[in-house]
Structure formats: C-alpha cells, structure tokens
Amino acid sequence: MDRPLNLVTFVVVDLETTGGAPYGGSEITEFGAVKVRGGEVLGEFSTFVQPLGAIPEFIIELTGITNEMVADAPSIHEVLPKFYEWCGPVEETVLIAHNAPFDISFLKAASLKTEWDWPEFIILDTVKIARRTIGKDEVLNYKLSTLAQFFQTQVQPTHRALDDAQTTVEIFHRLIERLGNKTKTLGELHALKLGK
C-alpha cells in the first residue's frame, strides 16, 4: 500500500455480459482489459466468450455483440485462467473497473463456476474516485459516457469491452492528475476510494 502510484501495475477491465445477474444465469460475452504502469500501456487483453445460452435481443442492441460473433469463441473455462495469468501476481496487480461491483461480481461468479480460486486483487472503482474528485456541479452523473465527455477522452465508450476499458484508463489518469499531491501512493488512493 505504500508503493508510489507510478510503480503500481494497474489492470483496467471491462466486461460485456448477457444481463445483470452474475449468479442468476447471466454470463460474460466479452473481456477487454488494459495493463498500465506509470501512465504507459503495457499490454491489452481482448476476447469474446461463448455463453451457454443465447444473448437477449436487448443486449445485442446495446452492445452490438451477436450470437454469431460468439459462436466460435472460447468458453469461460478457457478464458478465465488466461486472463488471471495475464493480470500477473496478485501482490503486484491492482484491478480497476468503472462501477467495479458489476465487473468484479461477474469475475467472482465465473471463478466459482470454473472452480478457479478468486485472486484477492486490490480493487479500485473509478466511479467512487470520480465522486471524490469531480463536483456534482461539474457533471450530471458519473457514468462512463458522461466522464468521457467531461474529459474529452480520445476513446469513447461503445458498450464494447476493450473500448470501454481504454476509455476508463484515460479517465483514471485524468482523475489522478486532478488529485495531484493528495494521492502519491496506492494506500492514499485506496483510502480515497473508501471515503476515508
């Protein structure tokens, strides 16, 4: 926790799913993740995942991901261990997501389903950081699209996993810039996320 932020490896992850119930039948259809350290992109992880059931029509309309697109994709049993391996050691990697409880709940549900131990990553939520950093007089809400517009990010969110992860990286970096000297270490940033 006392590591300077520029020495921390962050994995910014976004998932597309068939619905909003990770333990109630909804499944992951796409992974998108960006690994960054010291403001530099170290790598990207992107893959479709073949769900057991069909993708509902309203999700197809939202994401543009069709049943045909995931028909030949690897299963979650193949993708999840590759993703965890790509993330790196749990003691070195911090996971970031926008509205983290959603993505993390799906990762934990997938871990349970595939009988993989959930790695106890430190988790940061850019929604919570944004709420501590950007006033309500500056933005209408803290949705990814709103913050992308506020910061005029190069990549815009599209409800596709890698695009949204790339957008979140930009937003995270801009939030860190805004915080300035208030957060120099991972512990200080984590305390901010918790509202301390």
What residue spans of 64-194 are helical by DSSP H? Answer: 67-70, 76-87, 100-114, 126-133, 144-151, 161-179, 186-193
Measured CA to CA, the distance from residue 184 to residue 159 in angstroms comes to: 32
| Residue 190 a catalytic site member | no
Report residue 186 as tokens.
């991972």
**Phi/psi of residue 51, nearest 5 degrees:** -75, 160
Contact (CB, 8 A) for 187 and 2:
yes
Q: Is 150 exposed, middle or buried (0-12, 13-18, 19+ CB in 10 A)?
A: middle
Closest CA to 6 of 42, 32, 33: 42
Kindly name the residue from 77, 98, 159, 173 that is annotated as catalytic. 159
Please, which residues have CB within 8 angstroms of residue 126's CB and are 6 or more apart in sequence?
Answer: 96, 97, 98, 100, 147, 168, 171, 172, 175
Residue in this structure with the two tokens 């992107």, named with its chain if needed: 46
Which residues are marked as active site?
A: 159
